[in-house]
Amino acid sequence: MLLSSSVLFVISFFLVLYFFKKLKCVSAKLYNLGKLDGPSNHNIIIGNVLRLHAAPEVIFKKLRQWARDYYPVYQLRAIHIPAACILAPEDFEAILSNPRHIEKSMVYLLLHDWLGTGLLTSGGQKWATRRKILTPAFHFSILQQFITIFNEETDKLVDTFKQQCDQPIEITSHITQFTLKTIGETAMGTKFEFTTRKQIEYKQAILEIGEILLYRLLNSWLISDYLNFFSPHRLREKRLVKTLHTFTRDVITEREKTFEKFQLPTEEHDVYIGKKRLAMLDLLLTAKNEERTIDEDGIREEVDTFMFEGHDTTSAALSFALMLLANHKNVQDQIVDEMVTVLGDLHQKPTYNNLQEMKYLERAIKESLRLYPSVHFISRKLGEDFVTCNGLKLPKSTITHLHIYDLHHNPDIYPDPEKFDPERFRPENSQKRHPFAYLPFSAGPRNCIGQKFAMLELKAAICGILANFILEPVDTPESIVLVVDLVLRTKNGIKIGFIPRVK
């Protein structure tokens, strides 16, 4: 009994010492961030994060209101962890272009069980090594090979819409399956038809784990792995992660079995000629087998990361773009006219060069990504002291949330910011804009490695859909309800009318 009391005393003593050191470490941050304006605290201990304890759509509206009320920077605090919310393009540039601020914040701990510390979540030398391995996978010579896959999968998506076009279609689930299939076949060399049990389970697990991660994000104390132990969804999350990891390991194993035969140059597999022209998963396998710069777990981290990022962000972007085109017939018609000019025949499949020529389509996609950036906020940990554009000092290690959605809707940068206007992205209209005022793919050293891939996929999909349908509005920018999530989403999906185009 005496021994147990002594042990309890020692444990308690070290816990008190640990929290004292923690509080001492953050005291400077609390002091400096206390000078920032922001929503008032509901609780002196928990901070003002409780003001975000609401439905996802309510949180989204609150964040937008605070961006207007407290521009250019405001503070949020959860328990002893303060954060600065960044809104001005000058501060975006100073943070994102400085390699000292390259480390992601603790928000990304949410993803560690699933994605590990891959390209999205890692930092330091590990991030630099992974980026170096993967960059050649997005060379234009690789991307050219993917256009055929984009066109083939678009044809399958079009067939699905043709079977259901007698009534408005809720498009998000169909678009998600389309982008999952394209990332699987292009980056992983694996066809996903979602007919086998494992593939269906994987698709469902992706949807379910997104819901759990959102729950943790909205209950911010659960971001910590230690506190997440008490989450009511912890066991379910572990089961889903196991399902996701089993699937991706199977993909890697199957690809590794056939990898060697693709090393010899052939006309059929020209994409695999030369080490620097390998597709993503093959680059990772080469790095493991020949260079020893990554192991099996590392490959799994990157496959999981790109399966998630490569489909979810593009799915959201394509869904919003189609909704906007349905609501703006004049823009839709101009894109179709451009397709006829470039392709000659509206039903001709576009090549890589064709897609590069479609400048008006590109402007329309850029404007859609301005209004609805798939990644609506990112978060960094400051690597050194930082002074904001309005002169406030943030100490090293401060968490900064960079709100891309609010940056894109700043009326001082984009007059009439809710208006859909592709002409904003004519070169002459963009050249005087702050270079960090438009960041759908982030910027600086940690910009999105797959942005060219995403733009080509979006262009190819929109071309294929508009070649076959006139899009009619059902949901509108005014009727959809946006919600806080890891990727920008709507509360109830997106519905569009598809009218078959007369040939």
DSSP states of 385-408 = -EE-TTS-EE-TT-EEEEEHHHHH
How far CA 198 is from CA of 69, 111, 204, 251, 382, in Å, comes to: 48, 22, 10, 11, 41
| Residue 222 confidence class, pLDDT cut points 50, 70, 90 | confident
- Specify the pLDDT at position 12: 55
How far CA 274 is from CA of 132, 135, 223, 258, 292, in Å, comes to: 16, 15, 43, 17, 18
104-142: per-residue pLDDT in tens?
999 899 999 999 999 999 999 999 999 999 999 998 889
Three state DSSP letters for 442-497: ECHHHCCCCHHHHHHHHHHHHHHHHHHEEEEECCCCCCCCEECCCCCEECCCCEEE
- Specify the pLDDT at position 260: 61
Query: Among residues 409, 340, 337, 328, which one has the least CA distance to residue 365?
Result: 328
Is residue 8 in some structural domain? no
487-501: per-residue pLDDT in tens?
999 999 999 999 999
Residues 437 and 373 sit within 8 Å (Cβ to Cβ): no
Among the residue ranges 156-165, 290-299, 407-416, the one predicted with the least confidence is 290-299
Q: Reduced to 3 states, what is the DSSP secondary structure of residue 116?
A: coil
Q: Is the pLDDT of residue 269 over 50?
A: no
How many CA atoms lie within 13 Å of 281's alpha carbon, on the beta-carbon side?
28
The predicted model gives 218-227 an average pLDDT of: 82
Q: Which residue has the tokens 């010492």?
A: 17
Q: Is the pLDDT of residue 45 over 70?
A: no
Question: In this structure, what token pair is assigned to residue 107?
Answer: 């928000």
Distance of alpha carbon 138 from alpha carbon 278, whole angstroms:
10
| Residue 195 confidence class, pLDDT cut points 50, 70, 90 | confident
- Specify the pLDDT at position 272: 42
- Specify the pLDDT at position 5: 58
**CA-CA-CA-CA torsion sign (97, 409, 85, 59):** negative
Q: Is the pLDDT of residue 20 over 80?
A: no
Q: What is the CATH number of the domain that holds 139?
A: 1.10.630.10
Q: Which domain holds residue 413?
A: 31-115+124-500
- Specify the pLDDT at position 276: 43
Is residue 435 in some structural domain? yes
Domain count, the chain: 1
Alpha-helical (H) ranges within 118-231 are: 124-134, 140-164, 172-187, 197-218, 225-228
Average pLDDT, the chain: 88
- Specify the pLDDT at position 9: 56
Q: Which residues contact 22 (CB under 8 A, 6 or more apart)?
A: 80
- Specify the pLDDT at position 44: 57
Q: Is the pLDDT of residue 2 over 50?
A: no
pTM for the model stands at 0.90
Q: Which residue has the tokens 């002291």?
A: 385
Among the residue ranges 52-66, 198-212, 276-290, the one predicted with the least confidence is 276-290
The predicted model gives 476-485 an average pLDDT of: 95
Is residue 3 in some structural domain? no
Residue 448 counted as an annotated binding residue: yes
Distance of alpha carbon 324 from alpha carbon 279, whole angstroms:
33
| Residue 47 confidence class, pLDDT cut points 50, 70, 90 | low
- Specify the pLDDT at position 254: 87
Is residue 7 in some structural domain? no
Q: Is the pLDDT of residue 266 over 50?
A: no
Amino acid at 405: Y
| Residue 274 confidence class, pLDDT cut points 50, 70, 90 | very low
Q: Is the pLDDT of residue 468 over 70?
A: yes
Percent of the chain with pLDDT over 90: 68
Per DSSP, what are the bridge partners of residue 379? 401
Query: Among residues 194, 193, 157, which one has the least CA distance to residue 175?
Result: 157
Residues 408 and 414 sit within 8 Å (Cβ to Cβ): yes
Q: Is the pLDDT of residue 263 over 80?
A: no
| Residue 267 confidence class, pLDDT cut points 50, 70, 90 | very low
Distance of alpha carbon 155 from alpha carbon 343, whole angstroms:
17
Q: Which residue has the tokens 């961006």?
A: 67
- Enclosing H/E stretch for 25: helix 2-33
Distance of alpha carbon 238 from alpha carbon 232, whole angstroms:
12
Is residue 339 in some structural domain? yes
How far CA 57 is from CA of 97, 313, 456, in Å, comes to: 32, 19, 31
The predicted model gives 275-299 an average pLDDT of: 84
Is residue 17 in some structural domain? no
- Specify the pLDDT at position 36: 77
Distance of alpha carbon 252 from alpha carbon 101, whole angstroms:
33
Is residue 309 in some structural domain? yes
**Would you mind telling me the total number of residues written for the chain in this entry?**
503
Q: Is the pLDDT of residue 425 over 90?
A: yes
Q: Is the pLDDT of residue 32 over 60?
A: no
Percent of the chain with pLDDT over 70: 87
- Specify the pLDDT at position 380: 96
Quick one: DSSP state of residue 291?
I
Question: In this structure, what token pair is assigned to residue 121?
Answer: 């979540």
Is residue 218 in some structural domain? yes
- Specify the pLDDT at position 224: 83
